[in-house]
């Protein structure tokens, strides 16, 4: 009875609240799946979190609440307030974002790596955000200041602002490679024979907004013509951009808004220019959450050329990850495993060059495990279980060049039956961030 009364009261209150730009502030709500069609909600631009036990969970702003109210659709507030209620506590000495990086903290730490590992690490400005923040890449190679034309792999984080853990995993990978170059022959061979490019924060403006204003913020901070803010930059890449209004949205107020044209955003243009300037043969784009490894296509449920090979790589990575902490990452074609997307990163990197490309959705599995709010104490463990997959894919690209590209001979690759010196290190000593 109390729950029903609360829902009715919310409906009355929302009807009295003027609509504001969707997504500018909000809270987690749930609606009965019997009362709504999730696919229709997605097409209308609602920010769907998950479906569970007959209910659909949504991050809803005032405009979303008003739309539900106008349709007489009852809902339940699951986490009142525009900031995370009940999320894992952050340490007081770490500021608002605890042990997670802000844009400035990330720049400081990668510059420290460049200073401490001269010749192996180089910090490169690849672009500038809408609000004037630099987009930084960390290049790791045996002659990092030179363009040797070596095969390259790229690891990207933080397309979506609220996915803080996606910054930490690629950053810690770079830190691991540099710190273990002199300790592990496998790492030395990999770094000597290739270029590893790491872009931990693709969306610095959105990240800062998520830290200081609204924790659930997803997009960049584009001021749209209708008064709303933000483009989903993981819907702004050029391959099959705007293919339909399910995998992305033409509505600027939607959290899936794809922008006015492909690469309209400086953040995606920066990644495009970096990728096309180098011999990238593999890519991972880190996101959260759902604990999954996904490969093209995302825009259609039809299989991509080379689908079997992508599936085999994903299966191997999943097995290597599970061997560390027992964490199981499901894997499959993106459109079949979760939902369709168009204009996303890995469809573009695969469609452009055929480079094996993967989206890794980091833990937890669902909102019950914390959703976007990873416990900072788990950063090291999450990185540790992803490390062998990153090493494997980087090495795979050297042993399996793309058509027309020269094979670079190296030592035997990491695989299911060989952990390697570097992997043994991380199992025994899962790295944690040093502030």
Quote the distance between the C-alpha of residue 283 and its chain's center: 12
Which helix H or strand E contains 13, and what residues bound it?
helix 2-15
Give the residue, 119 or 33, on which the prediction is more confident. Answer: 119
Q: Is the peptide bond before 14 cis (omega within 30 degrees of 0)?
A: no
- 388 has pLDDT over 70: yes
Q: Are the C-beta atoms of 129 and 250 separated by less than 8 Å?
A: no
Kindly report the number of other CB atoms within 10 A of residue 353's CB atom.
16
pLDDT at 370: 77
The residues, ordered by sequence, that sit 6+ positions from 153 with a Cβ below 8 Å of its Cβ are 194, 195, 196, 197, 280, 281, 282, 283, 284, 393, 394, 397
Identify whether the C-beta of residue 247 lies closer than 8 Å to the C-beta of residue 321: no
Q: Give the helix, strand, coil percentages of the chain, each rounded to 5.
A: 40, 15, 45
pLDDT band at 53; cut points 50, 70, 90:
confident
Which distant-in-sequence residues (6+ apart) come within 8 Å of 48 by Cβ? 38, 41, 42, 56, 57, 58
Give pLDDT tens digits for 207-241.
999 999 988 999 999 999 999 999 999 999 999 99
* Mean per-residue pLDDT of the chain: 83
- pLDDT higher than threshold 90 for residue 128: yes
The span from the CA of 288 to the CA of 379, in Å, is: 13
Residue 123: its pLDDT value, please? 98
Q: Which CATH class is domain 92-428?
A: alpha beta
CA distances from 138 to 72, 211, 318 (A): 51, 23, 26
Q: Calculate mean pLDDT across residues 264-286.
A: 96
pLDDT of res. 43: 64
> pLDDT for 301-330, tens place per residue?
999 999 999 999 999 999 999 999 999 999
| Distance separating alpha carbons of residues 121 and 114, to the nearest angstrom | 5
Closest by CA position to 147, among listed 278, 271, 273, 275: 278
Q: What is the pLDDT of residues 147-176, one digit of tens each?
A: 888 999 999 999 999 999 999 999 999 999
Q: What is the mean pLDDT of residues 355-360?
A: 97
Lowest mean pLDDT among 300-304, 348-352, 410-414: 410-414
Asked if pLDDT for residue 111 goes beyond 60, the answer is yes
- Please report the pLDDT score of residue 95 as a whole number: 65
* Contact by Cβ (8 Å): 343, 248: yes
Q: Which residues contact 117 (CB under 8 A, 6 or more apart)?
A: 178, 181
Average pLDDT in the 18-29 region? Answer: 52
Partners of 293 in the β-ladder: 331, 360
pLDDT at 72: 80
Domain ranges of the chain: 2-79, 92-428
Mean pLDDT of 12-39: 57
CA distance 135 to 143: 22
What pLDDT, on a 0 to 100 scale, did the predictor assign at position 83?
A: 35
pLDDT of 6 reads 35
SS3 62: helix
413 has pLDDT over 70: no
- pLDDT, residue 405, reads 56
HEC profile for 120-175?
CEEEEEEEECCCCCEEEEEEECCCCCCCCCCCEEEEECCCCCCCCHHHHHHHHHHH
Asked whether residue 433 carries a pLDDT value surpassing 50, the answer given is no
Rounded distance between C-alpha atoms, residue 235 and residue 247, angstroms? 8
Query: Has 361 been annotated as catalytic?
Result: yes
HSE, CB side, 13 Å, CA atoms: give it for residue 1: 0
Vertex 312: Cα angle to 242 and 175 (nearest 5): 80
Higher pLDDT residue, 346 or 434?
346
User: How much of the chain, in percent, has pLDDT values that exceed 70?
Assistant: 81
pLDDT digit string (tens) for 235-262?
999 999 999 999 999 999 899 999 999 9
Catalytic residue among 114, 163, 361, 385: 361
Radius of gyration of the chain (CA): 21
């Amino acid at each position: 009875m109390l729950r029903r009364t609360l829902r009715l009261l919310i409906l009355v209150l929302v009807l009295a609240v003027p609509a504001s730009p969707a997504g500018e502030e909000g809270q987690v709500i749930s609606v009965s799946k019997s009362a709504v069609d999730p696919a229709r909600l997605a097409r209308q631009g609602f920010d769907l979190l998950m479906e569970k036990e007959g209910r659909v969970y949504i991050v809803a702003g005032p405009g979303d609440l008003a739309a539900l109210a106008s349709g007489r659709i009852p809902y339940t507030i699951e986490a009142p307030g525009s900031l995370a209620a009940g999320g894992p506590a952050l340490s007081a000495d770490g500021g608002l974002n605890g042990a997670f990086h802000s844009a400035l903290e990330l720049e400081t730490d990668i510059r420290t790596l460049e200073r401490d590992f001269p010749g192996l690490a180089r910090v490169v400005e690849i672009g500038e955000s809408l609000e004037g923040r630099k987009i930084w890449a960390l290049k790791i190679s045996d002659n990092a200041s030179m363009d040797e034309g070596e095969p390259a792999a790229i690891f990207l984080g933080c397309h979506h602002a609220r996915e803080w853990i996606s910054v930490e995993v690629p950053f810690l990978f770079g830190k691991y490679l540099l710190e273990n170059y002199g300790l592990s022959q496998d790492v030395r061979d990999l770094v000597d024979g290739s270029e590893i490019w790491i872009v931990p924060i693709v969306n610095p403006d959105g990240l800062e907004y998520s830290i200081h204003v609204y924790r659930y913020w997803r997009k960049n901070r584009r001021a749209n013509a209708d008064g709303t803010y933000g483009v989903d930059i993981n819907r702004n890449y050029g391959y099959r951009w705007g293919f339909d209004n399910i995998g992305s949205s033409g509505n600027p107020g939607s959290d899936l808004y794809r922008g006015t044209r492909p690469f309209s955003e400086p953040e995606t243009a920066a990644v495009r220019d970096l990728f096309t300037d180098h011999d990238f043969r593999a890519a991972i784009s880190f996101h959260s959450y759902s604990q999954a490894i996904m490969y093209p296509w995302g825009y259609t449920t039809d299989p991509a050329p080379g689908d079997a090979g992508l599936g085999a790589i994903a299966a191997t990575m999943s097995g290597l990850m599970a061997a560390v902490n027992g964490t199981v990452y499901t894997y499959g074609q993106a459109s079949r495993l979760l939902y369709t997307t168009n204009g996303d990163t890995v469809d573009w990197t695969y469609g452009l060059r055929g480079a094996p490309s993967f989206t890794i959705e980091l833990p937890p599995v669902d909102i019950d495990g914390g959703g976007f709010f990873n416990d900072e104490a788990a950063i090291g463990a999450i990185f540790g279980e992803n490390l062998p997959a990153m090493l494997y894919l980087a090495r795979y690209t050297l042993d399996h060049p793309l058509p027309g590209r020269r094979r670079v001979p190296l030592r035997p690759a990491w695989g299911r039956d060989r952990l390697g010196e570097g992997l043994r290190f991380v199992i025994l000593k899962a790295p944690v961030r040093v502030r």
